[in-house]
Amino acid sequence: MTDKPDLVVAAARGTSVGTMAEIGVIGGSGFYSFLSGAETIEIDTPYGAPSEPPLVGDLDGREVAFIPRHGADHRFPPHRVNYRANLWALRELGVRQVLGPCAVGSLKPELTPGTFVVPDQYVDRTWGRAHTVYDEAPVVHTSAADPYCPTGRATVIAAGNVVPDGTMVVINGPRFSTRAESQWHAAQGWSVVGMTGAPEAALARELALCYTSIAVVTDHDAGIETGTGVTQDEVFAAFKLSIERLRELLRTVIAQLPKPDTDCTCRQS
């Protein structure tokens, strides 16, 4: 295992394995065939192993590292994902810009299944997860007022056919919301509900990584719809229908992402 360095300067230090990729994608296992000439990189972190060893390969001339958030066989429920290890591993590979597509439920009638939302805010309602890399002295407080990368968000929005803002409330899971919880979330004016957006975004900020979420609506949440409520099978089926569109969006965005900017607010966190 990598020796745990002084985490106060971890975000500024060089990588231990050399720069192998500039862009990272944390998503579903449906992206395994996304890259050409892909190589699996065995890597460990101060927090243990990532969900899977990163896959590094070429996408239209850009070097990309991919990690399936829940593991290749979807074995990690959202509250058991090793978010710290996933993001640390990407940084070790040289990644500075991360795209985090995720499945969400809609809290607004107009956000129908198949809609892509680019959130600009999130509300963290999770508990029991490791929320920081700064869990040892000295205490470090990182600004999260604007939790997503402005450059990454602008690039995704410019690619078109997305809802350009919204608030994602992140619940612990793995169960879905009760109707009362869903109605409460909607009453706050929040847009979508997911299970993996936190602490992923906050950890990326602590590691000075540019992080952009792309929320894929798979269903209307329990307080918005009628009937018996959403099921896992319905969510998986809806996400599968959106995979090809998401892949094409990511391909466009990755091609257009600028080189990492050291002046980006994410890099100065």
pLDDT exceeds 60 at position 36 = yes
What are the pLDDT digits (tens) for 39-57?
999 999 999 999 999 999 9
Please give the C-alpha separations between residue 76 and each of 40, 86, 104, 241, in angstroms, as whole numbers: 20, 13, 17, 22
Give me the percent of the chain exceeding a pLDDT of 90.
75
What are the pLDDT digits (tens) for 124-153?
999 999 999 998 888 899 999 999 999 999
pTM reported for the whole predicted model? 0.90
- CA-to-CA distance for 17 and 14, rounded, in angstroms? 9
255 CB neighbour count, 10 Å cutoff: 13
- Residue scoring higher pLDDT (195 or 233): 195
Looking at residue 72, its pLDDT comes to 93
Domains delineated in the chain: 16-268 (3.40.50.1580)
Looking at residue 2, its pLDDT comes to 43
pLDDT band at 15, cuts 50/70/90?
very low
What are the pLDDT digits (tens) for 179-188?
999 999 999 9
pLDDT band at 230, cuts 50/70/90?
low
Looking at residue 9, its pLDDT comes to 39
pLDDT band at 12, cuts 50/70/90?
very low
Instruction: State the catalytic residues.
Output: 219, 221
Q: Using CA atoms in the order 119, 61, 84, 70, what is the torsion angle rounded to 10 degrees? A: 80
DSSP 8-state code for residue 237: H
Return the closest-CA partner of residue 73 out of 29, 32, 27.
Answer: 29
Looking at residue 195, its pLDDT comes to 97
Return the closest-CA partner of residue 107 out of 119, 94, 93.
Answer: 119
Looking at residue 21, its pLDDT comes to 96
* b/e code 149-185 from CB counts within 10 Å (16+ = b): bebbbebbbebeebbeebbbbbbbbeebbeeebbeeb
- CA-to-CA distance for 49 and 84, rounded, in angstroms? 10
Q: What is the mean pLDDT of residues 179-201?
A: 97
- With a CB cutoff of 8 Å and minimum separation 6, the contacts of 98 are 23, 24, 25, 26, 87, 90, 204, 209, 210, 211, 212
Amino acid sitting at position 149: C
